[in-house]
Amino acid sequence: MRITALYGSPRKGGNTDLLMQAFLGGLREAGAEAQELFLRDFAFSPCIDCGGCEATGACVLRDGMDDIYPHLIASDVIVLAAPVFFYGLNALAKAMVDRVQCFWARKYLLGRGLRQERATEGRGILLSVGGARGKKNFDGILLTAKYFFDALDMPFSHHLTYGGIDKKGALLEHPELCDEARKLGCDIVRT
């Protein structure tokens, strides 16, 4: 099973990173490993809506996404950990999501979805932490994740979202949340 863990937060060692690390701890306990990609370590621009991908299913921009795309194509499980900023994905994670427009074009315009290149149907997972406590704090990010994973031709199978956690490291004050993420990591491998 090929698993890619996308760290989408610009803040190194923040709550989103901690949540992903708990999830990956569960994967390891169950005997699996993941390729960890820290989006903050890649230089890439947002989608420029040029339409260049509509003819080939490949993005015409050449940048750090060229190193990320192969993982998105080949992975059976993709885990995106991204914080909520103003009730949506933070800019770094959103820029990456927008750059999978080429896979949307490939699937819906060219009829060549990524599922054909995977051994499994695949599974998409979202992990998110946000400072706000509102009931709709994660509505935007959940909808974006649904269509991100759809473009990658895999179902959006699980999500863990936790609000009211803002200060760096505050997630560690809630060990039950880390335990829930660790359990999900184990379950992903065993099911």
10-23 per-position pLDDT tens digit:
999 999 999 999 99
Please tell me the predicted confidence (pLDDT) of residue 117. Answer: 86
Please tell me the predicted confidence (pLDDT) of residue 134. Answer: 83
Cβ–Cβ under 8 Å, residues 59 and 84: no
Please tell me the predicted confidence (pLDDT) of residue 191. Answer: 84
Please tell me the predicted confidence (pLDDT) of residue 101. Answer: 98
How far is Cα of residue 143 from the mean position of the Cα atoms in its chain? 13
Show Cβ contacts of residue 130 under 8 Å, excluding neighbours closer than 6 positions.
83, 84, 137, 138, 161, 162, 163, 164, 165, 166
At the topology level, CATH places domain 3-190 in: Rossmann fold (3.40.50)
Show Cβ contacts of residue 67 under 8 Å, excluding neighbours closer than 6 positions.
42
Q: What is the DSSP letter of 161?
A: E
Dump pLDDT digits (tens) for 132-171. Answer: 888 899 999 999 999 999 999 999 999 999 999 999 999 9
Domain ranges of the chain: 3-190
Q: What angle do CA 152, 62, 10 make, to 5 degrees?
A: 65
Question: What is the DSSP annotation of 124-153?
Answer: EEEEEE-S---TTTTHHHHHHHHHHHHHTT
Return the residue matching tokens 């306990």: 29
Please tell me the predicted confidence (pLDDT) of residue 51. Answer: 96
Q: Which residue ranges in the chain fall short of pLDDT 70?
A: none
Cα-Cα-Cα-Cα torsion 57, 63, 66, 67, nearest 10 degrees, comes to -160
pTM: 0.95
